[in-house]
Amino acid sequence: MTSSARRTVILAAIALSLALFACADTHKGEPAAPAGSAPGAKATAGAPASGPPAAQVSGTGAETGQAEPQVQASGNSRLTEDERNTIEVVRKTRNSVVYVTNLQYVQDFFYRSDQPVPQGSGSGFVWDDQGHIVTNFHVIAEGAKFTVSFPNQKQVEAKLVGRDQSKDIAVLELRERVAGLAPVVVGTSRDLQVGQKVIAIGNPFGFDHTVTSGIVSALGRSMLGAGDVTIRDMIQTDASINPGNSGGPLLNSSGELIGMNTMIASPSGASSGVGFAIPVDTIRKVVPQLIQFGKVIRPDIGGVQFVRDEVAQRAGIAGAVILEVSKGTSAYDQGLRGLYRDNYGRLLIRDVVTGIDAMKIKSYDDLFAALDGYKIGDTVTLTVAREGQARQVRIQLVGND
């Protein structure tokens, strides 16, 4: 064999060896196919290789190379009806809830100028398309300037229109026109039931647009408000209400306003506890007057001032103790009189209101709440005690100044 022929044979042998080695390596890799690849030759006869896999009794998707079951990968199908309802209420009211900042002017170090400094913050909600924002009185108390922030981070300066300290309600008005305002849908608190679902939206601890949910825990609660007068018929809820939630809306499952989140009762002093909201029926009475008059015009006896309840209680007096009666008023003409000094300079009590019509009055707080149920122009019968003797006095109610 010539040298040329030998080289040809050697090259052919080498080529054949390389081909056999490549085939052997290919067959070795088949059992280690990557997870998730098509089963290929293991597909059931008659079923297309790209079709859905046969049902497996055991083994995870990672083990079999199949995708996870569709029931785990779905979205809204995993939500309960209650969850879907909450999501829908939040979606509908997203642009109705705002962040309110209370600013005060403070002089700088060199006393050359006043600088606005945040005094506090809270929540509020859009009342109408005229730019009126409803919040708690204690959110804006002592503020000189106010800003309202919307969910899209737009900030607008606002002015104070009116406030009712006794009900802890205040109304702001945006200083510029804002397109796309979404007034909250006003419901009623008259037919609320203990146990029904409620949703609270606000800005606790500065975290904007925070949502909590719960139930109406109790109705008809009485709590001392910011004006040192008891706010009655409040809604108690277990929906979390924290600092910053004040002034935000409490909504029912239809997304209607049923109350305004106002305060927390927490014996431990913690920031969370039992929440209370002012009922919307009270808000509906107060807010239109604040917008129109800047204050609430309530039925009043007229020209009569009363001793603070804590003073009367320390003296052991049950009733609304009259401090002073202005001359020329109907109350003065009917013989009502306030405190006086005797010959020794001692301050003595004369008249104490202990009833109005059929209602017993144990304090001025009781009288204030009772008058709220009348209209200006109504005539009432007061039960008045003086030196242990009771008499009846008829008075026509007038508007308070």
Residues 132, 138, 240, 365: which is the catalytic one? Answer: 138
Q: Is 363 a catalytic residue?
A: no
Catalytic, out of 121, 164, 168, 363: 168
User: Which residues are CB-contacts of 274 (< 8 A; sequence separation ≥ 6)?
Assistant: 217, 236, 237, 238, 264, 265, 266
Report CA-CA distances (Å) from 325 to 54, 286, 303, 332, 336. 92, 27, 6, 6, 7
Q: Is 168 a catalytic residue?
A: yes
Both tokens of 251, joined, read 């909504």
Strand bridging mode 274-279 / 256-265: antiparallel
* Sign of the Cα pseudo-torsion (253, 259, 261, 263, in order): negative
**Number of H-type helices and E-type strands within the chain:** 9, 23
Longest dimension (CA), the chain: 155
Q: Where are the beta strands (DSSP E) in 61-191?
A: 97-107, 114-126, 132-135, 145-149, 155-164, 169-174, 185-186
Burial 161-189 (b: 16+ CB within 10 A, else e): bbbbbbbbbbbbbbeeeeeebbebebbeb
Tokens describing residue 91: 């979606």
Rounded Cα distance, 47 and 54, in Å: 10
Of the listed 121, 189, 246, 363, which one is catalytic?
246
138 is catalytic: yes
- What residues act catalytically? 138, 168, 246
